[in-house]
Structure 1
Amino acid sequence: MPKRVILTEKPDVAKHVAEFFGIEQKLKGAYRLKNGDWVTYNVGHLLDLGTPEDYMSEAQKAARGFAQLPILPKPFRHFPDPEKLEQLKTVVKLLKEADIIVNAGDIDREGQWIADEVIAYAGIDPAGATKPVERVLIRANNDASLRTAFDPSNRRKNGEAEFVHRRTAGQARSEADWLVGMNGSRGVRSRIAARLDTTLSVGRVQTPTLGLVVQRELDIQNFKSLTYYVPEVVLLNGRVLTWSSHVEGASMQGIDAEGRIIDLRVAEAIVARINAGQIGQVTAFTAIEREQAPPLPFNLAKLQSEMSARCAMSAKETSAATQSLYQTRKMVSYVGTDCQYLPSSMHTEASQVLKGLSASYLKLASGANPKIRYACWNDAKVSAHHAIIPTGEQAQGLSNYERKVFDAIARRYMAQFYPKHVFLDSRLEAQYGEDLFKSSWKTTQVLGWKAVDAPVDEDHSEAADMENKMAMRMRHP
């Protein structure tokens, strides 16, 4: 029987894979399985790009400062990470001895590159020209997901164009980071930093990101606050009508270019006229029934934003909790995704996932209808990864952050199997003399998915416009 070596990106994933197949013996850096196969693992990148001096010509090494640039390695050489050398030796030895290699690394471009660069370093063509190299796509560490990933019908060839493109993209990103960072930082230091007596660095991602932060800080520093006035009419039923504008052709004195009342006397005159008995007339009223589908499942960025709003968790805290739920707890699918959609084939697994969730969400999971299918199930929108969803697995002893993050992920998933939220969207407009007022409100008809995943209040107006608004109210029938 051919000797098969399964290569994962992280030790934890290797452990889950080995336990799934059955461990015969645990060795340093690898597992021998009961079926005769082996599982070994990278620890992130086992190989690194070198220092600028590793790629310089002798003339460049003799030069100083800006004269050394540009440094353009052709090709890039990769060097063993001294701190991971023992693991690299173990991986290379097993890869060379293997009859069949199975790339079970993370399924994004970086995961593809991490595995392929080590396979190539071992003298083996990652595309499979020298020996068979298979590709399995592990989306979660629970048994059901591993069973799907390693099913013979789902095994693919590592040399397929899709995986070659991911490898190339991962390699290009890594080398672009090096080229921009090393050349840019040395160039800035030699021309600018010396005059400023400080240390400066340049990065392909770092520099434009810092530029955005600086521009935002300058916008805040240069912001000029503005006081404006908004008369309001409170009807006897409590409905509030807010001043919106003058009628067309009326005087615009005291009103700025954005249509805001900036002269207190103008606002007070409107209030005085209505308090003196000016009659208002309804000019428009609509009540339209609308439907709202649940929000899409989370990707990592959306999850971080949601947990910040719900629980004041930092992006780092959310990432750490989610990673633990994926790697250690096996409770959620792959974390490092920017996709909010799910493969159509996974819709058939909904009943099983909901059954698993019923251990913690008996009423909500039981009320879900796995036959409901929203737009999140869309193969065309899924590339390397799908959205973060629960696996149906449960674990004890979750940390406070893990519990909060899982709750958000589970509720968002269950919401996909609840009816649409139905509401009446009502809008009322009225005219008092030369002034127009309006009001809008929503009345729930069918709660639907909001019974599961109530959204965070999205009213951030105070932080958004940073302007002082003075409301002036008067009661009116």
Structure 2
Amino acid sequence: MNLFIVESPTKAKSIAKYLGNGWVVRATLGHIKDLPERELGVDIKTLEPKYVWLKGKKKIVDGIKKAAKKAKKIYLGTDPDREGEAIAYFLKEELLKVNTSIYRATFYEITKKAITEAIGGASDINLNLVSAQFSRRVLDRLIGYKLSPFLWRDLKERGLSVGRVQSPTLRLIVERERQIQNFKRKKYYYIKAEFVVDGVEFSAVFKQRFEKPSNAEPFMKKLKDVMFVVKSVSKEMQKEPPPKPFNTVSLQAEASKILGISVDKVQKMAQKLYEEGLITYPRTDSYRMNKEKAQEFMKYIERTYGKDYVGRLRKYKEKALAWGAHECIRPTSLDKKPESVLELKLWSLISSRALASLSSDAIREKFFVVLLALSDHTLEFTAEGSKLVFDGWTRIYPKEVKDRALPHLEEGQVIKPKRIYIEEVEVPPPPRYTEGSLVRTLENLGIGRPSTYATIIKTLKDRGYVVLEKGYLKPTEMAFKVVDYLMEKFPNLMDYGFTKYMEDNLDAVEEGKKDWKEVVRESYRRVLNAKE
């Protein structure tokens, strides 16, 4: 008998179908050890963490150890990331007491082929990944445990918290709210002419911008009862390449917007789809797609939509640390679908995006017309139109772009405007963040990592720092106080550049380039130096 160990019962059930007789599949139900809840759990001098059993987990692991005693081989099949590697590490520590034939099996989708290959290529624990998890956990504990009491004392409210990623994220939301509060509404004015030619309505704009309506009046006088002549007509074909397949951030942002759910719910649903064997691992920075799977998908596109809709497997520039062998988020099969309505919507979104990324360009024809006022040829108006010539990938992954019709016009043609008027354009204030736009901003700034964004936003809501108002994140009064306090007392913690610097160093631990304790010690010292 061989033993295969994972975190989730759902994942265990999916894998058991592929392993068959001679195998026992067990689940830990998530992490088995963590830092203690009611004490720091880190030696300040040595930075040695004190990991303790989570409630009820020793009993579960003792049960797994009984099965391990009888196993020929033990495979640790926890998730292929820092958290999964740490679970595997603690499991191995315990299981070595009863059996030494322990292997780490890494896979990115739950299919028979992937599981078989993972077992065949099983090796040992990746200690760099374990160190990366330790470094993040210890640094986050030091910052949260040591700095939060300052908030309780000085702001006189318990339950407030400080976080390495959480606090700079809150700063983003508060700063955006202050931009909105301090925004001075600005209006601009343009002269616009409307026409109807051969039953087609269109408009042309005089490109000069005016600060006041009165500044446009002298030009309006010249345009009274004026006719226009077509100076030039031109057109060009524009190709619009397909979107990239999803990675963690783009899935969180897009699914949150389209399905109207939180990024936390998106991530939990995606994890469930993965554990059921329906999509690849949903925590990934990568846009890479397996060549064999891409070929399978492109054959489906040809059968379903026709040869003209088949594109190619594109190569995308990856980040320096794009989670190794991880792929994009894609379906494992186009035939296996979830039963739940909301999960089906998410699966369909992932599937259509993966297919669209392998489809052909959309082609749009753009038209440009220049019109001159006969009363004064310096008064030049422009009109633009567009028409979708070939829908390409947009047939698979729809994009809302309206055609702007222009009539057939020829150079030298004289046309009469339906009306000419001054159009007022008001510059809107910057919008509040949605959960989706916030995770994109965090990624662009290099703050945190995609696997943690959903948890960070949930924490900000749970702590009462932000509320969701009409789909937008609005900071509470306490959020302003917390951000102002931390900006004064711990400016390094709140500095976006320093936050990215810490994150880059933590990534260097994962790559084996830096010692995790040195990174934690230096980062923590610099956070505290801001207070001294």
Class of the TM-score when normalised by the shorter of the 2 chains: 0.7 to 0.9
| Inter-CA distance 234–208: structure 2 relative to 1 (3 Å threshold) | same
Paired AA for residue 325 in structure 1 = L
Q: Distance in 2 between matches of 1:334 and 1:311?
A: 20
Question: Structure 2 matches for 1:138-149, cutoff 5 A?
Answer: 138-141=107-110, 145-149=111-115
Shift, 1:118, TM fit: 2.5
Question: Aligned with 1:176: secondary structure?
Answer: helix
Residue 28 (structure 2) aligns with: 42
Question: Structure 2 matches for 1:303-342, cutoff 5 A?
Answer: 303-328=251-276, 330-342=277-289
Paired AA for residue 31 in structure 2 = H
1:310-341: CA deviation from partner (whole Å, max 9, x where unpaired): 3433324433443343334x332222233333
Shift, 1:214, TM fit: 0.9
Shift, 1:384, TM fit: 4.6
Shift, 1:297, TM fit: 1.1
Gaps of 5+ in 1: 23-33, 58-70, 246-259, 356-362, 468-477
Q: Distance in 2 between matches of 1:306 and 1:93?
A: 45
Q: Distance in 2 between matches of 1:84 and 1:153?
A: 26
Matched-pair contact (CA < 8 Å) for 1:347–1:377 = no
Shift, 1:89, TM fit: 1.9
Question: Structure 2 matches for 1:408-419, cutoff 5 A?
Answer: 408-419=349-360
Residue 80 (structure 2) aligns with: 107
TM-score, structure 2 length as denominator? 0.65
Shift, 1:234, TM fit: 2.4
Question: Aligned with 1:50: secondary structure?
Answer: coil
| Inter-CA distance 348–53: structure 2 relative to 1 (3 Å threshold) | same
Q: Distance in 2 between matches of 1:429 and 1:154?
A: 67
| Inter-CA distance 455–136: structure 2 relative to 1 (3 Å threshold) | farther
| Inter-CA distance 395–343: structure 2 relative to 1 (3 Å threshold) | closer
TM-score, structure 1 length as denominator? 0.72
Residue 21 (structure 1) aligns with: 19
Question: Structure 2 matches for 1:448-463, cutoff 5 A?
Answer: 448-456=392-400
The counterpart of 2:50, out of the listed 77, 80, 103, is 77
Residue 64 (structure 2) aligns with: 91
Deviates further, 373-382 or 260-269: 373-382
Answer 1 or 2: higher relative contact order, Cα 8 Å, separation at least 6: 2
| Inter-CA distance 364–167: structure 2 relative to 1 (3 Å threshold) | farther
Shift, 1:81, TM fit: 0.6
Residue 291 (structure 2) aligns with: 344
Shift, 1:464, TM fit: 8.3
Question: Structure 2 matches for 1:58-77, cutoff 5 A?
Answer: 71=44, 74-77=47-50
Matched-pair contact (CA < 8 Å) for 1:333–1:389 = yes
Q: Distance in 2 between matches of 1:115 and 1:42?
A: 10
Question: Aligned with 1:157: secondary structure?
Answer: coil
1:14-54: CA deviation from partner (whole Å, max 9, x where unpaired): 111112112xxxxxxxxxxx22x332222221111124646
Q: Distance in 1 between matches of 2:226 and 2:310?
A: 58
The counterpart of 1:155, out of the listed 102, 121, 133, is 121
Matched-pair contact (CA < 8 Å) for 1:232–1:243 = yes
Q: Distance in 2 between matches of 1:290 and 1:427?
A: 13
Matched-pair contact (CA < 8 Å) for 1:103–1:158 = no
| Inter-CA distance 295–103: structure 2 relative to 1 (3 Å threshold) | same
Residue 365 (structure 1) aligns with: 304
The counterpart of 2:130, out of the listed 167, 177, 185, is 167
Residue 67 (structure 1) aligns with: none
| Inter-CA distance 435–307: structure 2 relative to 1 (3 Å threshold) | farther
Q: Distance in 2 between matches of 1:227 and 1:431?
A: 26
Question: Sequence identity of aligned pairs in percent?
Answer: 22
Question: Aligned with 1:294: secondary structure?
Answer: coil
Paired AA for residue 226 in structure 2 = G
Residue 220 (structure 1) aligns with: 180
The counterpart of 1:205, out of the listed 165, 170, 181, is 165
Matched-pair contact (CA < 8 Å) for 1:342–1:382 = no
Q: Distance in 1 between matches of 2:120 and 2:95?
A: 26
1:114-163: CA deviation from partner (whole Å, max 9, x where unpaired): 222322344579xxxx945433333233xxx232332378514224xxx3
Q: Distance in 2 between matches of 1:179 and 1:346?
A: 44
| Two-structure CA RMSD over aligned residues (Å) | 3.6
Matched-pair contact (CA < 8 Å) for 1:99–1:131 = no
1:351-374: CA deviation from partner (whole Å, max 9, x where unpaired): 68x49xxxxxxx973536897423
Matched-pair contact (CA < 8 Å) for 1:331–1:395 = yes
Count of paired positions: 400
Deviates further, 7-16 or 232-241: 232-241
Matched-pair contact (CA < 8 Å) for 2:309–2:393 = no
Shift, 1:78, TM fit: 0.7
Residue 439 (structure 1) aligns with: 383
Question: Structure 2 matches for 1:240-255, cutoff 5 A?
Answer: 240-245=203-208
Shift, 1:444, TM fit: 2.2
Gaps of 5+ in 2: 403-424, 431-532
Paired AA for residue 162 in structure 2 = V
| Inter-CA distance 396–451: structure 2 relative to 1 (3 Å threshold) | closer
Q: Distance in 1 between matches of 2:245 and 2:338?
A: 25
Residue 450 (structure 2) aligns with: none
The counterpart of 1:8, out of the listed 6, 9, 12, is 6
Paired AA for residue 24 in structure 2 = W
User: In the alignment, does 2:69 pair up with 1:136?
Assistant: no
Matched-pair contact (CA < 8 Å) for 1:108–1:385 = no
Shift, 1:213, TM fit: 1.0
Q: Distance in 2 between matches of 1:463 and 1:295?
A: 32
Question: Aligned with 2:363: secondary structure?
Answer: strand
